[in-house]
Amino acid sequence: MSRFCLIHGSTQNPSGWARLVPELDRRGHEVVCADLPCDEPDASGTRYAEVVADSLRAADPAIVVAHSVSGIFLPLLPSRCSLSRLVFLAAFVPEIGKSPMQQLQANPEMFCSDWIGKDPTKDDAVAVHYLFHDCDPETTAWALTTRRAMIARRALTEVCASSGWTDVPVSYVLCREDRTLRPDYWRERVRSQLSIDPIELAGGHCPHVSRPAELADVLSELPYP
């Protein structure tokens, strides 16, 4: 059995994990879902990391899975809680010494060009096209109820200063039909920056919504001490 901590991304609340959690439960795992301070625009990355760490203190080492932009918080966790693995799930990988906004300015091709500037939390059609395009109608209708915007101005503009975080084993799950983060960019970025090959899944940006059983299998097969 493994212990998982799931960190939602910038456009969903913790209920977005509701289809994945029972799949992990059925495989014998324990699951915690962090609830990030999305309505605090001046919250630092440290504040976000502390919220995640608070959900894991006094517990066995956990596999932490961060979706989408919440990948920027993963390097801040090893010094705050006991971890066995970090998993980027269709996620932004931060670069030490740069802020996420500086990374975007240097490499705008990391995102699909037509995604930039879209807000799926306010527009159903945008959410369906970019996030839930590989879901059946019933799942899509439910997924639209899980949306919540993350207002993280400070966290996105502060420099990632952590070091030594890759002493913790790292995995990256890449979604081949992602319409937000460009799969071809991140496939090569993960290989060059993290020195690993990504684990690839079919489908779009939210596999925890569209294919939870398949994702649960992938997570269950990750090495755990």
Domain count within the chain: 1
Q: What is the pLDDT of residue 165?
A: 81
- What per-residue confidence (pLDDT) applies to 224? 65
pLDDT of residue 62: 93
The pLDDT value given to residue 223: 82
Q: What is the Cα–Cα distance from 65 to 223, expressed in whole angstroms? A: 14
Q: What pLDDT sits at residue 58?
A: 64
Range of the domain at 73: 3-220
List CB contacts of 18: < 8 A, sequence separation 6 or more: 146
8 close to 67: Cβ distance less than 8 angstroms: yes
pLDDT at 56: 87
String of b and e for 202-211 (b: at least 16 CB within 10 Å)? ebbbbbbbbb
CATH of the domain at 166: 3.40.50.1820
pLDDT tens, residue by residue, 190-214: 999 999 999 999 999 999 999 999 9
Low pLDDT (below 50) residues in the chain: none
Residue 225 lies in a domain: no
68 lies in some domain: yes
